[in-house]
Each structure stands twice: as C-alpha cells, then as structure tokens.
Structure 1
Amino acid sequence: MSYSKIYIMLIGIMVSWGINVSVLKVLVAHTDAVTMTSLRIFTASLVVFIVLYFLGKIRLPKKSELFYVFGGALLSVVLHHYFLAEGLTKTSATNTGLILGMGPLLTVILSMLFFRKKPSFIRLVGFICGGVGVSFTVLAGGNGVDSINLGDVEILLCILSQALSFILINKAAQTMDPRLLTGYMMLIGSFLLFAISLWKEPEGLASLASAPPVFWAGFFFSAVIATGMGHLIYNYSIGQVGAAEASIFLNLNTFFSLVGAAILLNETIVPAHFIGLVLIVTGVLLGSGTLEMWMLQRKNKNVSA
C-alpha cells in the first residue's frame, strides 16, 4: 500500500478519535460510565478478533508474554478507560481533548525515564511547552488554581496510564503482533472493568435498558470504528511507515477533539483553549523528537546532494 493511502487512513483515524471524545461525553450522560465502558471495550475486542481471524493472526500468548498482556490490560484498558469515563462526567470534552494531546509527549518522557535517555535542549523546551499548555487547558474559563476540576485530574491520570502501557507494549511487540496484543488487552480489560462496574454501579446494566437510540448509535461508532478498527489500522500503519512517522498524526487528535466538541456539543472554546492547543502541539512536536527527526532528514538529503 502506498504511503499516501496510509496517511489518508491515519488522518481518518484521528478524525474518528477526535469525534469519539464528544461521543463518549454523550454516552456517559445517558448511562453509568464504567458499565458502558466495559461493554464498549468488549465489543471492540470482538471486532479485533474477527478481523485477526480472517488475517490468520490469532494464537495463544506465550508464558513470557502474559506479563505484558495483563500489565497492558490493566494500564491501557482498565485504568485508562476508567479514568476517561469518570473524567468525562466531570469535565468538558474540550478540556479532555486538549489534555489527551499530551499523550505522545508523556510517552517520550517515560521512555527517557525507563531507558535513562537524557533529553536534548529541544526536547526540554518541548516538555516545558507541554506542561504550560496543560495548565492553560485545565484553568480555561476559571478563576485560578481553585477552579481546577477533578475531571481534568482524572483525564491526566487516564493519559498517564496509557503512556505507561506503551512502555510495556513496546517491549512485548518484539515477539507478539501488536494487533493481537491489542485484542487480548481489550478482552481481558473489559472483563476487569465489568467486575469493577458490578461493585461501583450495581444498577449499571439496568441503565442501559432505558438508553435512547442515539446512545446505541454512538456506542457502536465508538466501539467498532474508533476503538476496534481504529487501533487495528493505527498499529498496521506503524508497521508500514514507522512509529515516529505515525505518531506525528496523533497531534491532529487534539484539533479534531476541539472541533467535535464545538460542533456536536456546542461547547464554548475560549482563548485559553487556543493557547493551550498551540503550546501542547508545540510541546509534542519538540518533545517527541519530530522536529529533530525532520532536521536530520533535511541534513542527510543535503549531504547526499
């Protein structure tokens, strides 16, 4: 498949992921958040395994891979989606989308901590920009530090747990197809989330029975398109164009989250949100090494010429 087609698919995924933030905001407003999330992730895992079956990629994980499967399920599915669902009940889709934009940057920071790599000056500037951007985001429309919403903190924990899971996934991918790993993590994580929902939301299943048709339309969009197929295609793209090139498109997720919140939820975007958006995207571009990679490619082309 040509790079242009892969890039078009990546842009499509970012559109679905950005819109998905607003869709999830609607879903948690109609039913209990954790119960809905567990069923959504379970549905997504079925979609993943159906696709993997036709691709002939299904196998049982090796004993050496179980730690990464369960660790990834705990971090990437249980904690990530639990805090995402809970946070969306307390904060706006706009703030959520902007804070989630810190994902690539947090992943780079954790990679440096775990693998003991010192950041360059450019990456250090990126970290500072990203941190300031989050500050503008969580304080947008407020009156200072006292206005920080608990939901914003939960969204930060949500993206932090996902960034930690990327460390495990990166290691496990050396022996296991990332798409198969994703399927197992979703399946195991959905059962763990459902167990939590039985304790935290005893009336959760009953709340689904009274959900309107618009809820189920959003539910299947989120489960099948954004979560199931989205992760499958994104992981495939990484294998085709490389992780660095694919991660650049994650920056678009923040933009489409803002657009989705404004169009679907009529949320107000204040000037502080634009400041946060610019600083976060700048922080990701600098802190993730994207700028350095571009400069190195330009240098190599000039040397070759």
Structure 2
Amino acid sequence: MLALATSSWGSAFIAGNYATQDFSPITVAFFRFFFASLILLPLMWMKGKNRPRPKGKEWVLLALLGLTGIALYNICFFIATKEAPIVKSSLFIASNPVLIILLSALFLKEKITSRNLIGLALALTGAAVIITEGKFLSVIRTGFEPIDLVLLIAVICWALYSVLGKVALQTFSSLVSTTYAVVFGTVMLFPFAMMDVTWPQVTNASMLTWGSILHMSIIVSVASFIMYYQGIKIIGAAKASIFINLMPLSAVILAVILLGEPLLPVHIIGAVLVLTGVTVGTRAKKKKMNRDKNEVPIELKKSN
C-alpha cells in the first residue's frame, strides 16, 4: 500500500508533462486541486465530524499551508515538468526530506544530529551533480539556468509546507489540514488561472490532458494521501517515510519508458547520493525494544 502510494507521486511528473501541453502550469495546478477539493471536502465532513474549528491565527497557518504547499509549489512543479527533463527535476526534488530536517531545526527547535548533517551534505551534493550534470566549472562560468531556480523555489516551498504542517498537526488531523490547505491553495490559484485560460482552450484540450489532471487529482492527491496516512497508522511515520524514496525512482523509470528521456550515468550518481543522503539523514537510530510481546510499539501508540 505504501509502495503504491509513494510510487504514484512519481507519476505526477509524467501526468504534469502531458497536461502542460494544452494548459499553462498555473491552470493545470488549479484544475488539479479544484477536482481534489470536490473529493476532500465531503470526505472531511464525513470523517471529521468532531474536528476542531479553526480560529484566529489558525486560519493564517492553514492559509500559509495553501500558499506554500499547494499554490507556489505546484506552479513551480508544473513549470519544471514542462521545461526541465523529468529525470533532473524529480531527482532534485528528492533532496527535500533533508531540507525539512534543517528547517525543522531552525523554526521548530528540533535537534540536528551528526547523521542529519551527513545526510544533508550527501543529498545536496547529489542535487548539485544532477543540476550541473557534473559540469561544475562550466556552470560557475555560465551561471545556473532559470529552471534551476524554479526547482530550488519548489523544494523550499515544500519544505516550508512540511514544517508548517507539523505545527498544524498539533491541532488538526492530517485529513483536515490537507483539505484546508488544498481549498486555500485552489482559491489562491483561481484568479490567475481565470486570467490565463480561455474557454476554447478548455473545450479543445485533449482527453490525455484531462485524464492526466484527473489522475493527479484522484490518485495522486486523494487516494495516495489516504493510503499513505493509513500506512503511517500501521507501521509508524518513521518507517513510512522511507517509502518516499520510491517517488523519484518511479518518476525516472516512467520518464525513460514513456517520454524517452535519456538516463545519463551522472544522473545515476546524483540519484545514489540524494537517496543515500535522504535515508541517512532521516533514519532514526534504533532504540532498544522491550521483549514483552504484549507491549505496543511507540509509533502505534502515537498514531492511535
């Protein structure tokens, strides 16, 4: 279940590439989360009847979730799927978990261990190898491409979304937090999408485009979300997070098979560095377990 959920996130890179053939990145982002909102809102009402109501600054927090993780991140995400090779963008975004650790330390005062620092160094080195394709000196002479800045903004936005999400989860469930974030993000994207798209574009868009958007709405944004958090309840967040490493792997495989993108040796080297860094930086040290078979694991206690 967890493997299917996280692998489907990789398919969003391919679906985004197809969808941006007919629509702009802003329009694709809007339609993706508009349809997701239509599913998440009734789901939240049915599942969270006793949920706490947002008040005061909590509305600001939820709005920031929508701004960083839904609006800004997805605009950058779909620009990248349109303009950058998917192999490059998916592997670069894979360095995200380690940046989340760094921001959590800065803003949430979470402790950074030597393992986190080693993972951060490996992941950032891998990201640099992917971006420059190993040509560090030529990049220094000519400068980075604009799409590299877009990818960097995407990574920063998702890391901020994750850190803000940790704060929101102290009060709201994951379903409630995500639903509010999606709704706020959709509202923020709406005026820009309406200025950007015309009715003939909507009616003339191909079935492949609409199918890609619905895939991202239903499978990537809703179904995989439910499966992922169900997995967290069963085995705990620490173990479940390891499955996120399947996202760039599935994206690269699909890009090579479906889009015919080249997989260069330098991409493989960078991917190994990124995935190793993420695994090292996010994996907690093993703790001594009580041999009593009747004891409930710590992770399950937290999820319950």
Bin the TM-score by the shorter chain.
Answer: 0.7 to 0.9
**2:90 corresponds to which letter in structure 1?**
G
Deviations 1:183-223 (A, max 9, x none): 11111111111222344x2x455422211111111111111
2:16 pairs with 1:20: no
1:89-100 equivalence runs, <5 A: 89-100=82-93
Q: After superposition, give the CA deviation of every residue in 1:21-72 in whole Å (9 maximum; x if it has no partner).
A: 1111111122222012111111112112233344354857320421221111
Q: Which moved more, 1:62-71 or 1:92-101?
A: 62-71
Calculate the aligned-residue CA RMSD, in Å.
2.3
CA contact (8 A) 1:91 1:149 kept: no
Please, which of 104, 109, 114 is the counterpart of residue 102 of structure 2? 109
User: Counterpart of 2:145 in structure 1: which amino acid?
Assistant: N
Report the alpha carbon displacement of residue 171 of structure 1 after superposing the two structures with TM. 1.1
User: Relative to 1, partners in 2 of residues 1:50 and 1:89: Cα closer, same or farther, differing over 3 Å?
Assistant: same
Overall identity of the aligned pairs, in %? 26
Q: Distance in 2 between matches of 1:61 and 1:162?
A: 25
Greater shift after overlay, 108-117 or 177-186?
108-117
Consecutive unaligned residues of structure 2, counting only runs of 5 or more, are 293-304
Q: Secondary structure at the match of 1:184?
A: helix
Equivalent position of 1:61 in the other structure = 53
Instruction: Write the mapping of 1:117-128 to structure 2, written as runs, cut at 5 A.
Output: 117-128=110-121
Cα-to-partner distance string for 1:221-271 (whole Å, 9 max, x where unaligned) = 111111122223323333443221221111111111111111121100101
Q: Which moved more, 1:29-38 or 1:47-56?
A: 47-56
In the TM superposition, residue 279 of structure 1 has moved relative to its aligned partner by 0.3
Distance 1:198-1:20 versus aligned 2 partners, 3 A rule: same
CA contact (8 A) 1:72 1:168 kept: yes
Equivalence map 1:173-188=2 (5 Å) = 173-188=169-184
Where does the alignment leave 5 or more consecutive residues of structure 1 unmatched?
1-8
Q: Cα–Cα, structure 1 residues 73 and 83, in superposed 2: closer, same or farther, change >3 Å?
A: same
CA-CA distance at 1:85 after TM superposition: 1.6
| Alignment map for 1:1-305 (pairs within 5 Å) | 9-57=1-49, 61-64=53-56, 65-140=58-133, 144-145=138-139, 146=142, 148-199=144-195, 201=196, 203-288=197-282, 290=283, 292-293=284-285, 296-297=286-287, 300-301=288-289
TM-score scaled to structure 2, two decimals?
0.87
Equivalent position of 1:3 in the other structure: none
Contact 2:16 2:82 in 1 (8 A): no
Structure 2 match to 1:4: none
Counterpart Cα distance in 2 of 1:57 and 1:222: 27
In structure 1, what residue type is equivalent to 2:87?
T
Q: 1: CA distance between counterparts of 2:72 and 2:276?
A: 27
What TM-score results when the alignment is normalised by the length of structure 1? 0.87
* Equivalent residues, number: 288
CA distance in 2, matches of 1:63, 1:118: 30
Return the alpha-carbon distance in structure 1 between the equivalents of residues 198 and 7 of structure 2.
30
Q: Secondary structure at the match of 2:83?
A: coil
Structure 2 counterpart SS, 1:249: helix
Confirm or deny: 8 A CA contact 1:126 1:285 kept in the other structure: yes
Cα gap change, 1:267/1:128 in structure 2, threshold over 3 Å: closer, same or farther? same
Counterpart residue type for residue 34 of structure 2: F
Moved segments of 4+, more than 6 Å: none
